Amino acid sequence: MKKALVEWNEEISDVLNGIEKEYEEVKRELQVYSYKFNITKQVVQSTINDEIIRNIRELYHKPFEQKLNELKESIKELEEKRKVFQMFVDKIEKVSEREEGKPQISVI
């Protein structure tokens, strides 16, 4: 029983580690797009020429905003996955601890 729980815990932990790695990558990309979006927003606010404003919005601001929103949604999904798989790890460890405390019955 204990061996099966340990193996399952390792499997779930590997999945959790993959989620953590993806989360960190998306988080970094989100930060970059947040800067890009805010910079273009500030430039648009400081620009008077309507044609230039339209071009900046079309070329940069709108695509950055769209990507930023996609990344925010990805972060939310990854946070939920992380939470769920961490629950698996916690529950498996709790059951494993209970199993360790039980006396071993040998079958002859």
Over the stretch 39-60, which tens digit does the pLDDT of each residue have? 999 999 999 999 999 999 999 9
> Does residue 15 sit within a domain?
yes
> Does residue 107 sit within a domain?
no
> Does residue 106 sit within a domain?
no
The interaxial angle of helices 2-46 and 62-101, nearest 10 deg, is 160
pTM for the predicted model, two decimal places: 0.78
Q: Sign of dihedral through CA atoms 20, 22, 23, 28?
A: positive
> Does residue 38 sit within a domain?
yes
> Does residue 13 sit within a domain?
yes
> Does residue 54 sit within a domain?
yes
Task: Count structural domains, the chain.
Answer: 1
CA distance 83 to 13: 12
Q: Which domain holds residue 91?
A: 2-101
- What's the pLDDT tens digit per position in 17-39? 999 999 999 999 999 999 999 99
CA distance 90 to 9: 9
